[in-house]
Amino acid sequence: MKQFLLTILFFLIVKVTSAFSISGVKTLCPGTRTSYTLSGYDLNKSYYWTISGGTFDNGQTEMWNYGPYITWSNDGAAGKITVKEYTSMNLNSTNTATATYNVDKFNLKAPYGSGGKTLSCGSTAQIEATFNIEYAGNYKDYSYDIQPNSNYIIIPTGWTIVSLINYESTTLGGKDYRLYKIKLIPDGVHFGDVKIRFRSNSCAWGEWSNAVSFSPQVPTLIISGPAEVACGVPQQITYTASGGTNGSYSWTYPSNWSKLSETGNSITFNSNGVGGQLKLTSNNGCGNKIEEIKATNNHLYIEGEDGMCSWHDGFIPYGISSDIGLPANFTTIWSGAQFNYVSNYGVSLVQLEGAGILTITVKVITDCDTTVLTKKVVVGTPDAPGTMQVQGETLADLNASYTYTIPHDYPSATGYTWELVGGGGNFPPTINIHDPYVTITFNQIGTYYLKPIVYGPCGKVDLDHENITITVVQDKTSGNYYSAKSESINMLTIQDTNKNIFSFFPNPAKNELIVSLPTSTKVIANQFKVNLIDVAGKVLLTASNGPNENLIKINTSNIASGTYFLHLVSKDEVKKEQIIIQH
155 with 129: CB under 8 angstroms?
A: no
User: Which tens digits make up the pLDDT trace of 96-122?
Assistant: 678 888 887 778 889 999 989 998 877
In words, the CATH class of domain 492-581 is mainly beta
Give, in order, the Cα–Cα distances in Å from 62 to each of 22, 47, 79.
16, 11, 13
- As a whole number, the mean pLDDT across the chain is 78
pLDDT given at position 487: 29
Low-confidence ranges of the chain (pLDDT < 70): 1-18, 30-31, 57-58, 65-67, 73-77, 87-96, 202, 244-247, 285, 310-314, 351-355, 381-389, 407-414, 422-435, 456-457, 461-466, 477-502, 518-526, 536-537, 571-574
Q: Which residues contact 309 (CB under 8 A, 6 or more apart)?
A: 379, 380, 457, 458
Same fold, 222-296 and 300-379: yes
Give, in order, the Cα–Cα distances in Å from 120 to each of 198, 249, 344.
31, 17, 58
The answer regarding whether domain 112-217 maps to CATH 2.60.40 reads: yes
The continuous run of DSSP H or E covering 138 comes out as helix 138-141
Q: How many helices and strands, by DSSP H and E, does the chain display?
A: 2, 51
Q: Which residues contact 174 (CB under 8 A, 6 or more apart)?
A: none
What's CA 429's distance to the chain center, in Å? 39
Neighbours of 530 (CB within 10 A): 22
User: Which tens digits make up the pLDDT trace of 353-410?
Assistant: 666 778 899 999 999 989 999 998 877 765 555 555 678 888 888 888 888 887 655 6
pLDDT given at position 44: 76
| Bond into 506 cis (ω within 30) | yes
CA distance 484 to 475: 9
Q: Which of 273, 296, 305 is nearest to 364 (CA)?
A: 296
What's CA 466's distance to the chain center, in Å? 45
387 with 465: CB under 8 angstroms?
A: yes
> CATH number for the 222-296 domain, one of 3.90.550.10, 2.60.40.10, 3.60.150.10, 3.40.50.740?
2.60.40.10
CA distance 431 to 540: 36
User: What percentage of residues in the chain have a pLDDT greater than 70?
Assistant: 75
Q: Where in the chain are the domains? A: 16-105, 112-217, 222-296, 300-379, 395-473, 492-581
pLDDT given at position 521: 52
CATH of domain 16-105: 2.60.40.10
Q: Which residues contact 61 (CB under 8 A, 6 or more apart)?
A: 50, 51, 52, 55
pTM over 0.85: no
CATH of domain 300-379: 2.60.40
The continuous run of DSSP H or E covering 18 comes out as helix 2-18
The answer regarding whether domain 395-473 maps to CATH 3.20.20.70 reads: no
